[in-house]
Every structure is written in C-alpha cells, then in structure tokens.
Amino acid sequence: MFVGAVELAAPTLANGLPAALQLPIGVALAVVPAALWMAVFYAQDRAEPEPRQFVVGVALLAALLAAAVGQPLLNGFFRVASWIHHDTLTELLGSVLIIGVVQEMLKFAAVRFSMYYSSEFDQRIDGVLYGTASGIGYATMLNLTRVFAAGGFADLGAGVIQIVITALAQGAIGGLIGYFLARTRFDHKPLWWMPTGILLAALLNGVFAWLRSTVSRSALVLNASGIASGGYNPLPALLLSIVVTTALSALLFILMRRAGEKSETQNVDGHSTASAVATFALATVALATGLLIRNAVETRTKVHRDPSGVQISYPDNWRLDTKQAPDGLLKVREAGDATSFELRWEAIDDKAADKDAVSRVAGNLALNRARDLMAYKTFDITLTPSGTATATSNFVYVTGPGSVLQESVPVVMLGEDRFVRKGARIYVFTFHTTEAGQDLARTQFERFVQTAVLP
C-alpha cells in the first residue's frame, strides 16, 4: 500500500517538487517502511511487550554499526563494488561470504552485546523482535546512505521500491538471527548452533541480493530519437522480496507462536560466551575466504595487443576502450568508474632532447585537459635521470555536472602522468582516481606500467 501510494503521487511530485525538498522527502520515505515493518513485528509480542525504547535502541545501534563498521568494511577494505560483478560465481560467493557475513554479524552484535543479558530479554519471542529491530535499523542506514549520496531521488517510484525491498529483506533476516540467539540463550544449544544461524542468514542475505540484482536487469532499448531506456526494472525485485519475506516471516511467526506457549527461564545458557567466540571464528574464516576470492579476481589480468605494437595488461574485470586507438590512446576503466588508466603515444622529433620533447607533449596534454576538465591544475614535471620513466607529473581536477562519477556533489580526482621516451615516440601512462582510492590505484598502476610492452 505504501509503494502504491508513492507510485500514484510520484508523477505529481516529480513535476512540482522543489529541489530543496527532494532530500528531506527522500529521508522521510526511507524511514516510513522501517517504522511500518517494525510495527508488524512488535505487534506479535502480545503477552509481555518489550519496552519501545529498548527496541528502538537496538535499531539505532544496528544503524550506527552499519555506518561506522559495515559500510567502511564493504566499500573500503573489501572494495566489493570493484570486483564482485566479475562473474556469477564470484558475485554469489562475494555476496554470501563478505556482504552477507558482515551484515549479519553486525546485526548479531547489535543484539548480543546490548539486550542479550537484559532482564527484559526473558522470552524466546523477544529474540526475534530484537533481531528484527537490528535488521530494520541496518536497512534504514543503508537506505539513508543511498538517499544522501544521491541528494534525493531522481526516480521517486524506483527509489521507494528499493527502500522497501531493503527494509523487508534485512528485517526478516535479522529476525532469523534473533531466533537463533533466543534459542542459544534459553535452550542450551550446542556450540555450532549460533554459527549455523549466522551462516544460514548470510546465505539468505547473499543469495537474495544476487537474485534481486539478476531479476532487476532489463534490456536497453533505443527509441526513435536514439535515447536509451531500460537496463533496470525494480518491480520483479519487489515481487521477489515480497515472496521471500512473506515465507520467512510466516516461518518466524509460527516459531514465535510456539515459543510463546513454552515456559521461559531467566537462566542464560552457560555456553553463550563460547558460542559467541565460535560465531566470530566462523565469520573470520568466511571473510578470509572472501578476501582470497577478491585477491584472485583482482590479480587476474587481460592482455591487449594494439596494431601499433603497444601491448598492455590490465585487471580482468576492467573495461577496455579502444575507440581512440587509431589516434594513439588506449583506456581501461574500473567497473565502478572510480579509477581509470590510459596509455597514449605521440610522435616527436627523434633528434629532440628528452626535456624538450617531454615538455612539448606535457604542454599539449595540459592544454587539452584544461579545456575539457573543471578546475584542472597540473604540477611541475620531474625529470628522472634513470629508470623506466623519463618524467612524472601530477594533476588534480573536479568532475563536472553530468559526469558518471558525480551524483549530487563534485568529485575531486587525482592523477599522475609518466612520460617514457622510446626513439621517435613519447609514451604517456596516466591514472585517474579519487582520493580514497589512490593507494590501491597506485599499486595497480605500477603493475600496469611495468607490464606494458612498448615497440
């Protein structure tokens, strides 16, 4: 009903919504599904309702963990966006072993290290409620991050569908974590019980994320004006999330009903600490395996041989652009568009001194970039007396409106040129990257330069 109401209002809002209201409305819409879903689960705890402030507190803790730990881990340390879509198997394994494990472990931590020993956690049904709260809190932070990154919704209807899908799935899977936690506390389960729960939740999380991405893809279609449309359709993913969430929620509701009929005890299982240690050990093994998969994907390379005699090796999951190869330019770009490498070559007078030849090529390059890039600034060229590079130069610029790297705010890009002279040609190796990605980009760039073959 919520999605339907927003879809009906979307055309009117899209035509008359002031730009200043797009972000506040996006934030409000990101919170509504979380509140609705929380109310559904809270209503199941009829016998002895948990204090609302504790339920909300667990949700806020999970949201903070998502922002402070989850997103930095996934986007920074594991860099999932740059390699996870390499192929189907990699996407599945990465979604389960890294994304699923990180997210479900943080939901687990939000309950295990807050309410687990509380006197309010006195029924099995409470575990499902607190687990659901942690899942909804985590989902809300994911949705808010998406809204703030985009400065609002370019497509209000599709944006709300994405928000609802995230809230439904993360909340339901969080409830599953809570069920395993409750049984661990009250039913003296063996050490493998809670790790199994995390593994099952991570599996559901990862497989659902992969299915959601797969069913949302649609073919690009060109209209009579040559404008492309399609490529993404959120409705199948919404239907999938309804089916999956309904099935999982029904199972949890049944388990909650049965749990409510059983006598409870305040005694905490003596294996609780050992169970938590075993759970973290399993998560560590899963993440280490995911890291090995990431490293294997990132170290795979492809080789391109240009008719000019130039040969380059680049990461296997990057895109190669040879449209300007006849003019002496090859480009490779990371899947997430944050980093790109270039190799260009230009003919020079073979009798010219290195300094003069490099200065002329660098000057032409700087003039062209100053014309095409916003706030472009280049720094001094440093000649090297020996080694592979004849000279190096650093530069910086800001992406302008319409860039694939920009959503709502400009992005500062850093770069470096390396000039290599061979006979009557100057070869220029270049990388462009963001400040956050420069350490990894430099390592990959060194490999790109060292493995290039120049005629």
* CATH value at residue 388: 3.40.1000.10
By three-state DSSP, how is residue 441 classified? helix
What would the two tokens of residue 370 be? 């100053």
Do 104 and 223 reside in the same domain of the chain? yes
CA 284 – CA 302 distance, rounded (Å): 31
Range of the domain at 183: 2-299
- Look at the chain and report how many structural domains it folds into: 2
User: Under a CB-based contact definition with an 8 Å cutoff, are residues 443 and 431 in contact?
Assistant: no
Least Cα distance to 414 among 384, 400, 394 occurs for 394
How far apart, in Å, are the Cα atoms of 387 and each of 261, 271, 348? 77, 61, 20
- The residue behind tokens 């049904």 is 125
Residues 156 and 185 in one domain: yes
Number of alpha carbons in the 13 Å side-chain half-sphere of residue 221? 9
Predicted confidence at residue 119, as pLDDT, reads: 83
Indicate if 317 and 434 belong to the same structural domain. yes
Do 381 and 428 reside in the same domain of the chain? yes
Same structural domain for residues 408 and 447? yes
Q: Are both 36 and 171 inside the same structural domain?
A: yes
Question: Would you call 150 exposed, middle or buried from its count of C-beta atoms within 10 A (0-12, 13-18, 19+)?
Answer: middle
Say whether both 320 and 403 belong to one domain. yes
**Are residue 153 and residue 122 in the same domain, yes or no?**
yes
Considering the domain architecture, whether residues 250 and 338 belong to the same structural domain is answered as no
Quote the pLDDT of residue 155.
Answer: 60
Same domain for 281 and 195: yes
Last residue of a domain, one of 299, 332, 355: 299
Q: What is the pLDDT along the chain (455 residues), one digit of tens a residue?
A: 888 887 777 666 656 666 667 778 778 888 888 888 888 877 776 666 778 899 999 999 999 999 999 999 998 889 888 788 888 899 999 999 999 999 999 999 999 999 888 888 888 888 888 999 999 999 999 988 888 876 666 566 677 788 888 888 899 899 999 999 988 888 878 889 999 999 999 999 999 988 888 887 655 444 444 444 445 677 788 888 888 888 888 887 787 677 655 545 555 555 678 889 999 999 999 999 999 999 888 888 899 999 999 999 998 888 999 999 999 999 999 876 678 999 999 998 888 888 888 888 988 898 999 888 888 888 878 877 655 568 889 999 987 544 333 334 568 899 999 999 888 899 999 999 988 778 888 888 999 999 999 98
Residues 31 and 152 in one domain: yes
Q: How many CB atoms lie within 10 A of CB 227?
A: 8
**Are 217 and 154 part of one and the same domain?**
yes
DSSP state of 187: S
Last residue of a domain, one of 299, 325, 359: 299
Cβ(343)–Cβ(431) under 8 Å? no
